[in-house]
Each structure stands twice: as C-alpha cells, then as structure tokens.
C-alpha cells in the first residue's frame, strides 16, 4: 500500500511539473501575441481575429491551471506539507502573468533580460512568480514556446501552398481539355457539306451549346 501511494505521489508530482511547463509556455505565447497585437495589428477585422486567438489561448491556460491545481492538491493529500511547497505552490490568479524583467544566466554566465512590452497591457504585471522562479523554467527562453507555434504554422502554410498549386494545376488541365473539346465541336459544326441550311443551323447551334459548356 505504501509503494502504491508513493508511486501515485510521484505521478502527481510529475503531472504538476508538466502542467507548470505547459503553463509557462502558454503564458509566453499569450504575452507575445499581446505585444504583436499592439504593435502590428491594425483594423477591425485583424483585431477581431487577434481577440479570438487570444481567447483561445486564455481558455487553454484555464485548462492547464485546472490540471495543475488538481495534481498539486492530490500530491498534498498524499504527502502532506513539506519543502516541496516551495516548488508546487498553491496557484493564485496573480501568479498567472508574464514577466517584464527576468534575469536568467546565459551560456557565458552573464545575466540577460527577457520580457514583454506592457505599455498597453493591463494583463501584464512586473515581477516573478513561483512559476518563473523554478530552476528548469527560469532558464527557458521566452521565445521558445512561440517558436514551436511558428514552426507549426509554417508547416500548415506549406501544406496549403502545395494544395493551392495542385488545384491550379488541375484547373490548368481542365481549361486545356475544355478548349480542346470546344475546338472539336467547332470543327464538327463546319465539317458537313451537302446539307440543308436548317440542318446546318441546327448542327451549329448544337455544337455551340456544347462548346459553351466545356
């Protein structure tokens, strides 16, 4: 029984840490989207699209928060209070925000700054929370999560570009076939001799009608 509860505790701890990682990535994406919206998006339609995209990101953050809170509470029930609470704190609303001035060690040991522009963003707050102060999250590049999404978007763009090229190729050959059939019907309309004028007019009308539908 003890081994079972220990294994369950390890599982819940891992799920909570994974949720923290996903939460930090989602927060970074949201922060970059807000900054991009304020500097690059103009017009009613683009702003409407940007708001819809931000709403989806916020909904994704809410799902992650619920997952973290469930795992954190389960771990607390299994192990009780302890030093682990310095890492897996109770998540408050004020903790879920991007950082504006975080110092993290770079590869050469110097301190670097990473953050977001909060001039017009009431949703952004200064300072660090336990989410960003965890060691493995503290070293993450603020643009890493956005880069992953950018790669996904590029893959979708390339796929749709290929689809458009294939469609254009199909249209090209459909038009070529229609022109060929049209020329064939046009030749049929003038290839008959020794027929009455009414019959020739009927053949011409029939050929023109089929050419029009090609």
Regarding whether 78 and 14 lie in a shared domain, the answer is: yes
Question: Which pLDDT value is given to residue 200?
Answer: 73
Question: Which pLDDT value is given to residue 171?
Answer: 92
Regarding whether 40 and 117 lie in a shared domain, the answer is: yes
Q: Classify 126 in phi/psi space as left (phi over 0), alpha (psi -120 to 50) or beta.
A: beta
Question: Which pLDDT value is given to residue 179?
Answer: 81
Regarding whether 98 and 136 lie in a shared domain, the answer is: yes
Regarding whether 123 and 30 lie in a shared domain, the answer is: yes
Which one, of 6, 210, 35, 208, lies nearest residue 121 by Cα? 35
Regarding whether 193 and 125 lie in a shared domain, the answer is: no
Number of domains in the chain: 2
Domain-terminating residue out of 87, 109, 142: 142
Give kind and range of the element (H or E) at residue 111.
Answer: strand 111-114
Q: In terms of pTM, does the model score above 0.85?
A: no
Q: Is the pLDDT of residue 87 over 70?
A: yes
Question: Rounded to an integer, what distance in angstroms lies between the CA atom of residue 16 and that of residue 79?
Answer: 14
Contact between 38 and 117 under an 8 Å Cβ cutoff? The reply is: yes
Regarding whether 75 and 45 lie in a shared domain, the answer is: yes
Percentage of the residues of the chain whose pLDDT score is greater than 70: 64
Q: Tell me: the pLDDT tens digits for 33-57? A: 888 888 888 888 888 888 888 899 8
Domain that holds residue 177: 163-213
Regarding whether 24 and 109 lie in a shared domain, the answer is: yes
């Amino acid at each position: 029984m003890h081994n079972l509860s220990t294994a369950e505790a390890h599982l819940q701890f891992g799920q909570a840490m994974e949720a923290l990682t996903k939460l930090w990535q989602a927060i970074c994406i949201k922060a970059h989207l807000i900054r991009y919206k304020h500097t690059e998006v103009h017009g009613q339609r683009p702003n409407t699209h940007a708001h819809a995209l931000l709403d989806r990101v916020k909904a994704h953050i809410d799902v992650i928060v619920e997952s973290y809170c469930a795992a954190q509470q389960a771990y607390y029930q299994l192990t009780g209070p302890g030093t682990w609470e310095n890492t897996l704190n109770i998540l408050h609303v004020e903790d879920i925000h991007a950082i504006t001035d975080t110092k993290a060690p770079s590869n050469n040991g110097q301190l670097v700054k990473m953050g977001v522009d909060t001039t017009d963003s009431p949703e952004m707050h200064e300072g660090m929370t336990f989410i960003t102060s965890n060691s493995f999250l503290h070293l993450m590049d603020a643009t890493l999560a956005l880069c992953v999404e950018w790669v996904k978007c590029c893959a979708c763009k390339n796929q749709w570009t290929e689809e458009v090229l294939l469609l254009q190729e199909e249209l090209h050959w459909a038009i070529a076939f229609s022109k060929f059939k049209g020329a064939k019907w046009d030749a049929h309309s003038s290839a008959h001799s020794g027929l009455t004028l009414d019959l020739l007019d009927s053949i011409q009308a029939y050929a023109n009608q089929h050419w029009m539908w090609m």
